[in-house]
């Protein structure tokens, strides 16, 4: 007979407190969260009270918390952080994952968050400001303009303005960038780097959006990742692996038809969009085949570029050097027919580090989950900054039965220049 949720929570927390029991009850916490999502808030509160170190078991369980439960749990986490002087990692995890899955729950508390600083100096410290509009513009403007503010506080306020992605906040941030950019940066470099982090590019007096608003997750067929070699706590059971398919019959993996201009090998197909889903910024074509050379991309040269003919087929461009013998010659990704799922708003914001290999980060559109800083290539034809199109995570199966890693296990990113019909790829890892 299954234990009641409160008894399961008590067993989890006692196992953490005992320390003689394996202090990482990921399997137990995930089982509780999937069977009783309404109990996740109680689990989080018990952990904040009795095991403030938190852990990945809590991080994973928060993905099952009902959306309507986030606001009250956020308030409890902020109260806990204030009482503890900011020293409660479990409460910081609640804020971290709320900023990704339900940022609106944090918006009433942004002034307070600025002072408490949960997750201070982490890249996701600024995430709570996403989608907050201009409701806290006055507060951030006051931080920047007040003489008693420190340089560090002004810099944080400025980056928070950018993170809102709100036109009025961005306009004010650009107006005062000269007074905020830190030593070692020119104001222009500082501005462009932070605009790129939020999917914007400044071209003279205007701003251009570099990322589509439309977002689709790839849905892989049953058995695609078999045999499953991951430990139970990294099993592909996260909700982003199980989204309902809205577009079917999308060819994935296998060999393409073009030839790599670096090594003369056959290009490796990534996927074929036929038809091309709307809202991705790809026009003038009904079909787009995306391919690259896994043997050369990143290992020999990156980014790599491809021009697409009217039918959407790619040919390698942008390299006219000597023929290369790749250090790591490989075959293609495992061929399959995948689906595309319209992504629920809860999963629009994802982060490579925060996902901790649990989530499906294979996405088309939306904003990229950068492993490092934002990195948008320039089109070799027009020299314009290319827009983001898609990303593919590591651990995808290969045709020979292996698992593909982008570098040491990062993400590959695809870009598109619509006027030139040019795609580009690069990857990042730690």
Kindly report, residue by residue over 101-134, the tens digit of the pLDDT. Answer: 999 999 999 999 999 999 999 999 999 999 999 9
Kindly report, residue by residue over 251-305, the tens digit of the pLDDT. Answer: 999 999 899 999 999 999 999 999 999 999 999 999 999 999 999 999 999 999 9
> In this model, does residue 22 exceed pLDDT 60?
no
**Predicted pLDDT of residue 3:** 87
Kindly report, residue by residue over 210-258, the tens digit of the pLDDT. Answer: 999 999 999 999 999 987 778 877 889 999 999 999 999 999 999 998 9
**Predicted pLDDT of residue 421:** 98
> In this model, does residue 45 exceed pLDDT 80?
yes
d(CA 5, CA 34) in angstroms, rounded, equals 11
pLDDT confidence of 188, banded at 50, 70, 90? confident
**Predicted pLDDT of residue 21:** 60
Where do the structural domains in the chain lie, given as residue ranges?
5-129, 148-209, 215-428
d(CA 401, CA 409) in angstroms, rounded, equals 17
> Distances in Å between the alpha carbon of 390 and those of 105, 109, 233, 317?
28, 33, 27, 20
Which two structure tokens, joined as six digits, stand for 162?
Answer: 């950018």
**Predicted pLDDT of residue 23:** 60
The beta-strand segments (E) located in 329-386 are: 336-342, 363-365
Residue position matching structure tokens 């708003």 = 345
User: Are the C-beta atoms of 40 and 12 separated by less than 8 Å?
Assistant: no
Which two structure tokens, joined as six digits, stand for 94?
Answer: 């609640």
> Distances in Å between the alpha carbon of 39 and those of 6, 29, 56, 69, 291?
8, 10, 17, 10, 45
d(CA 409, CA 399) in angstroms, rounded, equals 18
- Reference 278, options 219, 340, 338; nearest CA is 340
- Mean pLDDT (the chain) is 95
d(CA 228, CA 397) in angstroms, rounded, equals 10
Residue position matching structure tokens 């787009």 = 288
> In this model, does residue 42 exceed pLDDT 80?
yes
**Predicted pLDDT of residue 196:** 98
User: Are the C-beta atoms of 265 and 299 separated by less than 8 Å?
Assistant: no
User: Are the C-beta atoms of 206 and 167 separated by less than 8 Å?
Assistant: no
Mean pLDDT on 139-151? 95
| DSSP character string of 381-397 | TT-PBPEEEEEEES-EE
d(CA 104, CA 9) in angstroms, rounded, equals 27
Burial of 409 (0-12, 13-18, 19+ CB in 10 A): middle
- Reference 274, options 338, 214, 317; nearest CA is 338
**Predicted pLDDT of residue 234:** 83
Residue position matching structure tokens 């990857």 = 427
Question: Left (φ > 0), alpha (ψ -120 to 50) or beta: where does 118 sit?
Answer: beta
Threshold 0.85, pTM exceeds: yes
% of the chain with per-residue pLDDT over 90: 90
């Amino acid at each position: 007979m299954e234990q009641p949720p409160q008894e399961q929570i008590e067993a989890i927390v006692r196992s953490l407190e005992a320390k003689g029991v394996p202090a990482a009850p990921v399997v137990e916490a995930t089982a509780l969260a999937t069977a009783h999502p309404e109990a996740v808030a109680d689990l989080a509160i018990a952990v904040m009270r009795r095991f403030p170190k938190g852990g990945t078991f809590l991080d994973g369980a928060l993905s099952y918390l009902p959306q309507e439960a986030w606001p009250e749990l956020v308030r409890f986490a902020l109260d806990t952080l204030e009482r503890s002087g900011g020293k409660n990692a479990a409460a910081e995890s609640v804020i971290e994952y709320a900023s990704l899955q339900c940022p609106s729950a944090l918006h009433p508390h942004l002034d307070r968050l600025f002072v408490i600083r949960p997750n201070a100096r982490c890249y996701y410290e600024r995430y709570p400001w996403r989608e907050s509009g201009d409701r806290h513009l006055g507060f951030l403007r006051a931080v920047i303009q007040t003489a008693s503010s420190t340089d560090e506080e002004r810099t944080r306020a400025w980056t928070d303005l950018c993170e809102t992605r709100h036109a009025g906040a961005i306009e004010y941030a650009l107006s005062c960038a000269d007074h905020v950019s830190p030593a070692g940066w020119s104001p222009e470099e500082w501005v462009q780097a932070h605009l790129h982090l939020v999917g914007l590019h400044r071209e003279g007096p205007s701003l251009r959006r570099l990322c589509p608003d439309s977002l689709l997750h790839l849905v892989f067929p049953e058995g695609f990742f078999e045999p499953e070699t991951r430990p139970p706590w990294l099993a592909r059971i996260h909700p982003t692996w199980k989204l309902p398919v809205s577009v079917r019959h999308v060819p994935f993996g296998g060999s393409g038809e073009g030839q790599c201009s670096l090594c003369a090998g056959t290009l490796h197909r990534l996927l074929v969009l036929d038809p091309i889903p709307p809202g991705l910024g790809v026009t003038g074509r009904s079909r787009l085949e995306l391919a690259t050379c896994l043997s050369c991309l990143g290992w020999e040269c990156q980014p790599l570029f491809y021009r697409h003919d009217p039918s959407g087929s790619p040919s390698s461009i942008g390299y006219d050097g000597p023929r290369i013998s790749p250090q790591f010659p490989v075959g293609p990704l495992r061929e399959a027919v995948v689906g595309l799922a319209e992504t629920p708003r809860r999963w629009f914001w994802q982060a490579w580090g925060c996902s901790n290999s649990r989530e499906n980060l294979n996405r088309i559109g939306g904003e990229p989950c950068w492993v490092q800083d934002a990195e948008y290539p320039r089109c070799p034809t027009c020299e314009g900054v290319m827009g983001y199109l898609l990303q593919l995570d590591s651990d995808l199966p290969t045709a020979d039965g292996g698992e593909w890693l982008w570098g040491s296990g990062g993400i590959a990113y695809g870009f598109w220049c619509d006027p030139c019909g040019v795609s580009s790829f690069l990857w990042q890892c730690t």
